[in-house]
């Protein structure tokens, strides 16, 4: 039998490839993982990612001349994630996911590995700030929409003496 479509020559092989395809579909929905928490369409998705980097230069003042600049190193990189969760989307799973994220950081305020959806290991980061804002409510007072901001600061490539 000739395999013109690239599906393999038997039904079992085709089913195995279908199973692998469904696993990659689930993994492809993950946008970013911070430790054990995954930002995704199925949990909490961010709609903006801001990266900030700095290079420090100290000034040495000189009399009658321009100041002399001396490079003193890099500042810590920061990543700021901004997103929104809706109570009506997927039965409000995003609202619960944000609470899970805050609880994870509260219970374990340690550096967590940050990995992008493409598998890029970005290093260890710590959560330095989290805020959320609820602007509309359901009957009974439950939040209808919630915007959130999470700030992460670079810790290092490995866990030194943590």
Task: State the pTM of this model.
Answer: 0.73
pLDDT tens sequence across 33-71:
999 999 988 888 899 999 999 999 999 999 999 999 999
Residue ranges and CATH numbers for the domains of the chain are 29-56+68-156 (2.40.30.200)
pLDDT tens sequence across 108-151:
999 999 999 888 899 999 999 999 998 888 888 888 888 999 99
Q: Closest by alpha carbon to 142, among 88, 70, 103, 101?
A: 88
């Amino acid at each position: 039998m000739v395999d013109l479509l690239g599906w393999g020559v038997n039904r079992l092989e085709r089913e195995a490839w279908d199973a692998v395809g469904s696993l990659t579909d689930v993994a492809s929905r993950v946008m970013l993982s911070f430790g054990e928490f995954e930002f995704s369409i199925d949990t909490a998705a961010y709609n903006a990612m801001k990266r900030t980097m700095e290079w420090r230069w100290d000034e040495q003042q000189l009399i009658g001349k321009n100041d002399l600049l001396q490079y003193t190193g890099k500042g810590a990189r920061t990543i700021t994630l901004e997103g929104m969760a809706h109570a009506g989307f997927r039965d409000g799973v995003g609202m619960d996911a944000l609470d899970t994220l805050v609880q994870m950081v509260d219970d374990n305020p340690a550096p967590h590995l940050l990995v992008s959806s493409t598998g890029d290991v970005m290093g260890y980061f710590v959560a330095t700030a989290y805020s959320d804002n609820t602007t509309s409510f359901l009957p009974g007072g439950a939040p209808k929409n919630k915007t959130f901001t999470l700030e992460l600061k670079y810790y290092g490539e490995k866990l030194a003496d943590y």
